[in-house]
Amino acid sequence: MKRIARFFWLASVAVLPLVGCYDETSAISTDVSSLDLRMGYQLVGTSKGTTVKGYLHGPGADPRLVEGDRLELRTPIGVVPLAVIDGEFSLELPPAGGDYELALVRAPGRGGDLSQKYFLAPPFAVRAPVTASRAAALTVDWDPAPGPHRTQLTVRGPCVALVTRDLAGDVGSYRFNPYELSSSAVAPGSCTVTIGITKGALLAGGYAVATQSASTTLEMTP
Amino acid sequence: MRPFFFGAALAAMLLACSSSASANPLGTGWHTWDEVRFGLRGETYAGTRREGAGSVARLRLGGADFELVARRFFAGPIGVSFALAFLPPFDAFDGISYLRGDLSLDAGLFRWNGKVPGAFIVGAGFGGDLGRYSFAGRFYPRLEARLRLRPSEHVGLFVATDVMPAALGPDDRVVQVRTELGFSWRLLIVSLRVGHAIMTGGNPERTYVQQELGLYAGVGLM
């Protein structure tokens, strides 16, 4: 009788250290299904280089890639392994256009590989006269490239309101008609304006995921 | 809700006390009321569960239940048993509230006299549960085996194992096995229960396991 009572007393004491509650999703990638992962990235290219920023999130804590799981970026100039820190990654690459693919390569039995592929337009240059009058026609030229990207032209400066033109294709040239810019004047006199071209892929909602940009400046007179 | 508790407790006490009048010493015949008890069980459980499509979450949590058990033989060694475990959804018990009901047809296979009289009983039935556990919300078949010993007039021991080999309801396949070791002295009953729930499913398919350790204290008659 005393032994039995002692047994239950010891069992009760043994339970006490187990008190302390948690319910957490594992952060080890082997414990995370591909179907529960979310990943994405953004490419921002210029003539100086390409900036890559992205994320890899799990259902709970951000997963730590182990045991055959790896994240890599397949670029036109080679495959770059990515280090994920706190669910995010970023890196700088030399300027290059073409197909980029973010790939999560997984060992068998973890839900399969994941990938996202974007096209980045090649680097280019924008050309415009050194000076231009708002009252006269202005032609802007740039290097066109084939591809599925959209092309957007912007003009901004202290003496003109932001002018945006979404172009039907990457045609390599745009002509502002006389007074097309003067109607956007917000201040008298001359100023330095920046003319920019952005070629990019847009997701739903207008979020740019792969943009190649170039710009030039000119002195704009009344 | 409180009147319900008191009512259930009172009903269990009355059943226990009324059954004492018809109780025979184990081994000389099958009790009309084999067992009626009401008590409180505290438990801790730990292991893994599925998160999302197929990721692993690790947990260690606790719970408590009021438990009412009644077993009655109505035709010699043939009887029925009923068990109800419940913790109402009070605000303070958010997330650990639980309801479970089991109903089984029992058969007393063996009984013996001697220095330590005893009996061996098996049962088959069904049950269902709701709340708390990741595998709850199911309807299941149930098998039970129960060994009872009575070393002295006022002391009883029992070992019981119940197996739920399948479940209807959860997305995963669920198998649960629970083993209880109990001790009684007069109307007081204490027991230790160890449980294992094994869940298989998800994408990728994994096996998730939860172990449970619980202590029970109650009143009744064995």
Q: Which two tokens stand for residue B102?
A: 């089991």
Who has greater pLDDT, B70 or B2?
Answer: B70
Q: What is the pLDDT of residue B168?
A: 93
Average pLDDT (A22-51) is 90
Is the torsion defined by CA of B21, B25, B31, B37 positive or negative?
Answer: positive
The per-residue pLDDT for A182 is 74
Mean pLDDT of B155-162: 95
Helix (H) and strand (E) counts in chain A: 1, 16
Q: Please check whether residue B27 is in contact with residue B150, taking contact to mean a CB–CB distance below 8 angstroms.
A: yes
Q: Nearest C-alpha of chain B: how many angstroms from A32?
A: 4
Phi, then psi, of B13 in degrees rounded to 5 = -65, -45
User: Is the Cβ pair A26, B215 closer than 8 Å?
Assistant: no
Q: Residue B24: what pLDDT?
A: 40
- pTM (two decimals): 0.76
User: Looking at residue A1, what is its pLDDT?
Assistant: 58
Report the alpha-carbon angle B198-B85-B206, nearest 5: 15
CB contact under 8 A, A36 and B53: yes
Kindly report, residue by residue over A90-132, the tens digit of the pLDDT.
999 999 988 999 999 998 888 889 899 988 999 999 999 999 8
pLDDT tens digits for range B61-93: 988 999 999 999 888 889 999 999 999 877 666
Q: What is the pLDDT of residues A157-188, one digit of tens each?
A: 888 888 888 888 888 999 988 777 777 777 78
> Phi and psi dihedrals of B32, rounded to 5?
-65, -55
Amino acid B9: pLDDT: 47
**ipTM exceeds 0.85:** no
Among B220, B221, B194, B217, CA closest to B42: B217
Contact between A23 and B46 using a beta-carbon 8 Å cutoff: no
Beta partners for residue A202, in sequence order: A208
Which residue type does B117 have? P
Rg of chain B on CA atoms, in Å: 18
C-alpha distances out from residue A151 to A98, A214, B212, Å: 16, 11, 62
pLDDT surpasses 70 at B158: yes
Confidence of residue B16 (pLDDT cuts 50, 70, 90): very low
Instruction: Count how many Cα atoms sit within 13 Å of the Cα of residue B7 in the half-sphere of its side chain.
Output: 4
Question: Is residue A204 very low, low, confident or very high in pLDDT (cuts 50, 70, 90)?
Answer: low
Cβ atoms < 10 Å from Cβ of A186: 11
pLDDT tier for residue A206 given thresholds of 50, 70 and 90: low
Could B213 and A18 be called an inter-chain contact, meaning their C-beta atoms sit closer than 8 Å?
Answer: yes
pLDDT for A221? 86
Average pLDDT over residues B35-61: 92
Dump strand ranges (E) for A121-170: 126-127, 131-133, 138-142, 150-157, 160-167
DSSP track, B94-141: TTT-EEEEEEEEEEEEEEE-SSS-EEEEEEEEEEEEEESSTT-SEEEE
Contact call for residues B165 and B127 (beta carbons, < 8 A): no
CB pairs under 8 A between A and B: 80
Q: Which of A8, A15, A26 sits opposite B213 (nearest CB)?
A: A15
Residue B84 contacts by C-beta under 8 Å, 6 or more apart in sequence? B67, B68, B69, B100, B101, B102
Peptide bond into A81 cis (omega under 30): no
Chain B positions contacting chain A at CB under 8 Å are 42, 44, 46, 49, 51-62, 155, 157, 183, 185, 190, 192, 202-204, 213, 215
Give the chain A residue nearest B57 (alpha carbons): A25
Residues in chain B: 222
Q: Closest to B202 (Cβ–Cβ): which among A4, A21, A33?
A: A33
B100-127 pLDDT, tens digit each:
999 999 999 999 988 999 999 999 999 9
Given this model, what pLDDT does residue A220 score?
87
- C-alpha pair distances (Å), B140 with each of A137, B96, B162: 81, 21, 12
Distances (CA, A) of B208 to A8, A22, B199, B211: 29, 16, 5, 10
Confidence at A9, pLDDT banded by 50, 70, 90 = low
pLDDT, position A14: 54
Is B19 in a helix, a strand, or coil?
helix
B201 pLDDT higher than 60: yes
* Amino acid identity, position A184: S
DSSP A64: B
Confidence grade of residue A139 (pLDDT, cut at 50, 70, 90): very high
* Best residue of B50, B55, B191 to probe chain A, by most A CBs closer than 10 Å: B55
Q: According to the per-residue pLDDT averaged within each range, which of B16-20, B84-88, B159-163, B168-172 is highest?
A: B159-163
Say if residues A149 and A143 touch (Cβ distance below 8 Å).
no
Report CA torsion sign: A27, A29, A30, A35: positive
Most confidently modeled range among A6-15, A21-30, B75-84: B75-84
Residues B84/B96, Cβ–Cβ less than 8 Å = no
Cβ <8 Å between B203 and A111: yes
Contact state of B204 with A58 under an 8 Å Cβ cutoff: no
